[in-house]
Chain A
Amino acid sequence: MTITQIKLSDALYEFSLAQDVPSAALLDSFIQRYPAYAKELTDLAVELVIDSISEETPSPKDDLQSQKDSAVNLTVSRAMSHYQNRLYELQQGKEIKADARFSNGNIPADPFKNMDTAAFRSFSRAINANTAFCMRVRDRQINANTIPERFFMRAAQELRTSQDNFVAYMHLPTAVVRAGQSFKAECKPFAAVKQTYEEAVNASNLSEEQKNDLLSLIEKAPENGQFQPR
C-alpha cells in the first residue's frame, strides 16, 4: 500500500486504539510504518499521554449536576438539528463533492470571515507558517489541486471548519479584494494566476524549519510519478 493510499485519519485511529495510553515504543513502531505521518502521530501521542493524566473518574452527584444535564440536553438537541439538516442536504444531493463542487450552486463558507488580525496571526502560527503564506491561502492564490491533504486537514482543524468546506473554499477563484480591505492602485485589481503549493511555500519568506515542515506534508508521488489531485 503506498502512502497516498493510507489515509491519515485511519493511521491516527489505529494509533489511538492500539493502547489505552501510548508509549515511546508504540509511537516509534507507528512512525516506522508511516514515516510520512511522523509529526501527526507524535502530536497525537503527546496529547493522548497528557490527556491520560486526567482520566475520567465517576463524579458524585453535585449541585452542578442539573446544570450539566441541561447543557447535555442542549448539545444533543443542537446536534440532532445539525443531523437532520445534514441528512436533508445529503438526501437532496447537495453535498459538496471533490471536483464538482460548485455545479449545484452551493458556495462554501468563508472560514476567514470575521477573523481579525490577531486571530489571523494566531492561525498562521498554529499551522507553522507566516502571515504572507496565510494570505496566499486566504486569498486562494494557491492551486487547490496541488495542496496536500495533510495541509487541508491541518488548516481546516485550526480554522474550525470541515475539511470538505475548506477544500471547496480553496477551489473558488482567487480573491481579488476582500470585504473590509482597501487598496490603492491606478488600475482595477485583477486575479493573479494561481501558484502551486510548493511555489507558495518557497515564495513566502518562511523560515527553513517552516518550509521543511510545510513541504513535508506533500504526499510522496506513487511509482507512476503522477500526483493525485483531490
Chain B
Amino acid sequence: MVAPLAKKYINNGELYLRRAEVESEIDGLLKVSVTIWEQRAEIVDSTLPDYLSSECLVHLFRASAQQKQEQTKNKLLICLLGRCSRILQNKVSDTIRGAEDLRQDIVNDFVELCLTEYLPGGALDYYESNFNLAFKRLRIDRVRPTLVNVGRETVLSELSDFAETMSSDDIYDQLLKIENRDSEQEISLMKKRVWIAINELPPDERTVVALQMLGYRIESKDPKTPTIASKCNVDPRTIHNRLKRAHAKLAEALKEERS
C-alpha cells in the first residue's frame, strides 16, 4: 500500500491526500516492474487505458529517485517534463513576448522542485495531490509579470464574427454566460478571445474585472464586507468607472475584426 503524503495543511494540520483513483493506480503499479512504469509513462494519449495520471507519474519519479534507480528516474522525469511542456504549449500563448523562454523557465522551475523537493513532505506532495492545480500555480508565478506584453495585433487577428453580436452592454453577460454557447469549439474560441482581451486591459481595470468574476460586489452597506472598492482601496465610483472602461474596451476588442 502506498505511503500517505507527508505535507500538511497549514490551517488544520491534516495531511494532503491523493485522489482515490490515483492511490489505486499507484498501488497497482507498485506490484509491477519498473520496466512497465517506463513503458506506460511514455504514453501521451490520455484516452488510452494504460495512460498514467500525472499525479501517479510524479509518485513513480519520486520513488525511483529515493531508491536511486537512476535510469528509471531519468526516463520518468523526461516523460514528466514532456507533460509540463505540452501543457505550456497550450497555456503560455505565443503572443506573450519571449514565450519560448518563459516556457523553458517554468519547466526549469519544476526541475528545481524535482531536485530539491522530492522527499516526503516536499513541494512535490502538492503535485501528487493535484498536479494540474499545483502546476498552474507554478506557471502563474512566472507568467503574471509578462501578461502586460500580450500583443494587441493578436487580439485583432483572432477576432471574428462573434463580435458582430456584441454591444458594450452585453460584453460582460457574454463573458459570464459563455457556457451557454452551442458548440464546444465555439465556446473554446470565444473563451480564448475574452482571455486575450482581458489580459490586454490596464492592470487596474484587469483587476476589477477579475474581482467581479470572483464574485465580489462593487460596494456594500456593511463596512465589514469585502468589496471590490475596499480591496482596491478606492471609492466605489472609481470602480464603476474602471469597470465601465474595461467593459467598453472588451466590447471594442471583440468588435474590431468586424471593422
Residues of A near any B CB (own CB < 8 A): 1, 6, 9-14, 16-17, 20, 22-25, 27-28, 31, 33-34, 42-51, 53-57, 59, 68, 71-73, 75-76, 78-80, 82-83, 86-87, 90, 126, 157-158, 160, 162
Contact = CB atoms under 8 A, between A and B. Distances in A.
25 contacts: A17-B126, A17-B134, A28-B226, A42-B231, A44-B137, A45-B210, A47-B143, A49-B214, A51-B91, A53-B195, A54-B91, A54-B195, A55-B191, A57-B184, A57-B188, A75-B85, A75-B107, A76-B78, A78-B108, A79-B81, A87-B115, A90-B115, A157-B141, A157-B142, A160-B105
A74 B159 CA distance: 31
B9 A14 contact: yes
Contact of B123 (A6, A13, A42, A75): A13
B199 A50 contact: yes
A24 B191 CA distance: 21
B89 A68 contact: yes
Contacts of A76: 78, 81-82, 85, 107
A79 B107 contact: yes
Contacts, number: 145
A75 B81 contact: yes
Nearest to A71: B89
B10 A11 contact: yes
Interface string B67-86: 00000001001100110011
Nearest to B187: A57
Contact of A49 (B90, B108, B213): B213
- Tell me what chain B mostly uses at the interface: helix, strand, loop, or mixed: helix
A73 B86 CA distance: 10
B145 A126 contact: yes
- Tell me what chain A mostly uses at the interface: helix, strand, loop, or mixed: helix
Contact of A12 (B86, B108, B137, B143): B137
A157 B138 CA distance: 11
A83 B133 contact: no
B117 to A, nearest CB: 10
Nearest first, the 5 A-B pairs at minimum CB distance are A54-B195, A16-B137, A24-B215, A46-B210, A75-B85
Given A9-B123, A49-B213, A76-B85, A54 B141 contact: no
Contacts of A55: 191
Contacts of A57: 184, 188
B132 to A, nearest CB: 8
B214 A23 contact: yes
